[in-house]
Amino acid sequence: MNCESDAVYACVLMGDAMDKIRRHIIFYGRVQGVGFRWHCKNFANAKGLTGWVQNLPDGTVEMEVQGTEEKVSALIGYMEERPYVEIDSFDSEIIDLVDGDFGFYTKESW
């Protein structure tokens, strides 16, 4: 590669990283025992999102998801439309990106 193409490649990579966000989300409602984590994992992996999802002992579901805002929002919207899942509310905050994050998986629950 020459310097010019290296610079273009670096800009493309940097632009991709700058478009990404990572959200920490806690979901409340009927979110355990209804396939929530399974649907999350499959949708997220199909869309190229990274992160994890897990059940918490208080009946909520915790998730960290990384990708573009558009794809992260699409995952949340998808989960709100799942049969049997009833999301009453969720808390969400943007957190630091995780470098080298690969794939989306289900974490061991408590």
The more confident residue out of 1 and 102 is: 102
Q: Active-site residue numbers?
A: 37, 55
Name which of 23, 27, 45 is nearest 85 in CA terms: 27
Q: Evaluate whether 48 touches 26 at the Cβ level (below 8 Å).
A: no
* pLDDT band per the 50, 70, 90 thresholds, residue 6: low
Nearest to 93 by CA among 63, 54, 68: 63
pLDDT in tens, 62-79: 999 999 999 999 999 999
Interior/surface letters 33-60, b for 16+ CB within 10 angstroms, e for the rest: ebebbebbbebbeebebbbbbbbeeeeb
Reduced to 3 states, what is the DSSP secondary structure of residue 27? strand
- Pick 37 or 15 by higher pLDDT: 37
Q: Whole-number mean pLDDT of the chain?
A: 89
Taking only Cα atoms into account, the Rg of the chain, rounded to an integer number of angstroms, comes to 16
Q: Do 52 and 83 form a contact (C-beta atoms < 8 A)? A: no
Please state, for a pLDDT cut of 70, what percent of the chain lies above it: 83
Q: Would the pTM count as exceeding 0.85?
A: no
